[in-house]
Amino acid sequence: MAALRAEVTTVADSDTPALGAVVVHTAHQSARVVEGVTATLTHECPDCRAVIGDEHDDGCDVARCMAYGTQRVQCSPGARMVVRGILPNGGVDVDWETDGHDCGRDVWSGRWPGLAECEEFDWWAVFVPYGNPSWRPVAAGTPGAVHDLNRLVVEAKWSPELRRWVR
Ligand SMILES: [Zn+2]
Ligand SMILES: [Zn+2]
């Protein structure tokens, strides 16, 4: 299957982030999938300003835990956040597990973590105001569709070896 590439625009965060409670203080991402158009890379991390290929700073909201793929600032030393599911209001139901893991050092790729996987898996969602659930899976190209980052956390598996989500 030919890889779909997306033209990504980052807009000011006035909408509810697609990843609910897992994403805090972040820019909201929206994308229009266009065959043959290369994804636009952002030179600096929107939070810590790391440039492409450089490690995120310690407190960066964008950095992922390289052991579990979740937001790194949500890990405590040696403990990880476990996502149990998505709440009816669109938030993420989480728990904690002490396991002594090392979060590693994520680097800024030029794109928001998980966007490439959503495109590869063709996972999109639209926000439904007062909906239950708030985010509804839709086909690519649906007006208002954004990358379904919630679904990655719930349905995909993080590969520490590949440093990405897999199915
Ligand atoms: Zn960063
Ligand atoms: Zn971690």
Residue with tokens 């929206």: 30
pLDDT for 68 equals 92
pTM for this model (two decimals):
0.70
Alpha-carbon span 114 to 118, nearest angstrom: 6
- Asked whether the bond before 17 is cis by omega within 30 degrees of 0, the reply is no
- Count up the domains in the chain and report the number: 1
Q: Does some domain include residue 111?
A: yes
Is 22 part of any domain?
yes
In a domain, 33, yes or no: yes
**Closest ligand, as measured to the CA of 71:** 2
Q: Please check whether residue 1 lies inside any domain of the structure.
A: no
Instruction: Using the predicted structure, report yes or no on whether residue 95 has a pLDDT greater than 60.
Output: yes
- Of 62 and 11, the structure prediction assigns the larger pLDDT to 62
Distance 26 CA to ligand 1 centre (A): 11
Q: Provide the domain limits for residue 145.
A: 6-166
Residue 76 lies in a domain: yes
Which ligand sits nearest to residue 68's alpha carbon?
2
CA of 101 to the centre of ligand 2 (A): 6
Nearest ligand to the CA atom of 113: 1
Tell me whether residue 69 is in a domain: yes
Assigned domain for 130 exists: yes
Domain-embedded: residue 113: yes
Which ligand number lies closest to the CA of residue 96? 2
- In this prediction, residues 64-93 reach a mean pLDDT of 89
